[in-house]
Chain A
């Protein structure tokens, strides 16, 4: 068998870095994305991704690392929505809508002051995984490790909080702190992933692999492992697709996750109908 098809792209250093990046991001977003899916936070995840834009834009214009700017903005969005909705003062989707649109507009307004407006905006919105540097990779690895280790350490508490918030309160778990921590972990993941698929498609990395895994798994930690594998696999396949067909890498990765979801959905429906009721 000729492995040249798989090995040829790897003679380029930028492809090696890109491959590592999509694997890392696929793994982490599958794990945190499982919480996004079971808790019904897809819109929230999308808002955090878009809400990072002002921070990324400012960092970009000032020539600072995009990661720090994005992280500050992303965490601010997460905490802001959490604050607006505490004690039911505002419905969550309303708060998300307001913060999401406001931050996104602010981000685009800031970028529009830069000279190379359209190119810069495209990179930020849709990602540029081929431009990942060694520093970016290091940041992704550290963020990914922090997110996954935190989830492993607090898995049973996050599970209780997600399945049955009433139990979390009667057990006297610090539910407010745990909820905020989950939002911050989500923001960290989103910001670390921005370069791979970009702001606009980030929600697909969070939601689609986890939604696919939920169709196939009966327990949350199984779903997480499966989503991580699906996320990483989609990243690798999408990257090769992008290399050989010369299409943008972010959309290629997302299209693979979508194709896997459709296959799992149709497959589970067919199997589900085959089972006796």
Chain B
């Protein structure tokens, strides 16, 4: 019956709902973006992420991880390809994606409280010409609770540490009532303890069924704490479990030979020698 209804109600535009059966949470098909030939341009990228999965996106500096994310959320146009979330074309699906970029450009002296920042995520639910009411503030507090930042809700955003700011921006993405989170290097510029706190938040969200796609340089974290790995360098090199992705062949293709793999029994150590500017690793300090 549903199939017949769908056929009768042509055209099949934006009719799919987030709960649509069998649709991946994120489907990327043949995506190309950025100036062709330029550093960090991506070409012909295809992969699918099922609802509730956690995927780590790996690749050397300039591999196009940020470009991929920006293309998915529509910050840069894609030259070819197709993106859908839960079977819905991405151009209209802002409410379905929570994007947490690297945020070098934020002015941390800006007069906003932690609650104000998270409320920004609810702008589209609020709609035009409306100020937030009690129910909206309660929803914001609930998201802050999920990332363990409720106690800081009245602080000015600049008074928080780097790791705490990241968690507030995760809460803001959740306030978009999203079930898919896209995080671009959330551990860059924060210390190991703060990184672990962020990871703990992400794992509890994963347990709640949130789909998580995260770009990182940390291979051991990616291998041990994520369901699947996506290794890219301009194009997809490998996609699958860590055993499927961490092969000598795939890694040396991604890192162009600047890599060594040492196997000792069950232990696998990957040594990456990344020359060039460490552009992806600058935090806000």
Contacts and interface: CB of A to CB of B under 8 A. Distances in A.
B178 to A, nearest CB: 11
Contacts of A156: 119-120, 123, 126, 131-132
Given A38-B107, A170-B97, A218 B123 contact: no
B122 to A, nearest CB: 9
Interface stretch (B50-58, B108-116, B214-222): B108-116
A217 B156 CA distance: 10
Interface string A258-277: 00000000000000000000
Interface in A107-143: none
Interface string A206-233: 0000000010011110110000000000
Contacts of A214: 109, 111
A41 B107 CA distance: 14
Contacts of A217: 111
Nearest to B117: A163
Contacts of A160: 120, 123
A38 B110 CA distance: 6
B112 A155 contact: no
Contact of B112 (A40, A169, A220): A220
B74 A163 contact: no
B152 to A, nearest CB: 13
Contacts of B131: 155-156
B120 A219 contact: no
B99 A170 contact: yes
A55 to B, nearest CB: 32
Contacts of A172: 74, 94, 124
Interface residues of B, number: 31
Contacts of A218: 111, 113, 156
A64 interface: no
Interface in B58-115: 73-75, 94, 97, 99, 101, 103, 105-107, 109-113
A48 B116 CA distance: 30
Nearest to B94: A172
Nearest to B130: A156
A214 B112 CA distance: 11
B116 A159 contact: yes
Nearest to B92: A172
Kindly name the residue among A154, A160, A166, A169 whose own CB sees the greatest number of chain B CB atoms within 10 A.
A166
Contact of B75 (A155, A169, A222, A223): A169
Interface string B127-166: 0110110000000000000000000000010000000000
Contacts of A164: 103, 106, 120
Given A156-B120, A160-B120, A164-B106, A170 B73 contact: yes
Contacts of B73: 170
Contact of A169 (B74, B107, B120, B132): B74
A170 B94 contact: yes
A171 interface: yes
B226 to A, nearest CB: 23
Interface in A187-222: 214, 217-220, 222
A245 interface: no
A61 interface: no
A173 interface: yes
Interface string A145-166: 0000000011111011011101
A214 B129 CA distance: 25
A163 B106 CA distance: 7
A10 interface: no
Nearest to A152: B131
A276 to B, nearest CB: 13
A223 B99 CA distance: 29
A38 B124 contact: no
9 contacts: A38-B110, A154-B129, A159-B120, A163-B120, A164-B103, A164-B106, A170-B94, A171-B176, A219-B116
Given A167-B120, A220-B111, 12 more contacts: A38-B107, A40-B107, A153-B129, A154-B128, A159-B112, A159-B116, A159-B120, A166-B99, A167-B172, A172-B94, A218-B113, A219-B116
The 3 closest A-B pairs by CB, nearest first: A218-B156, A172-B94, A170-B73
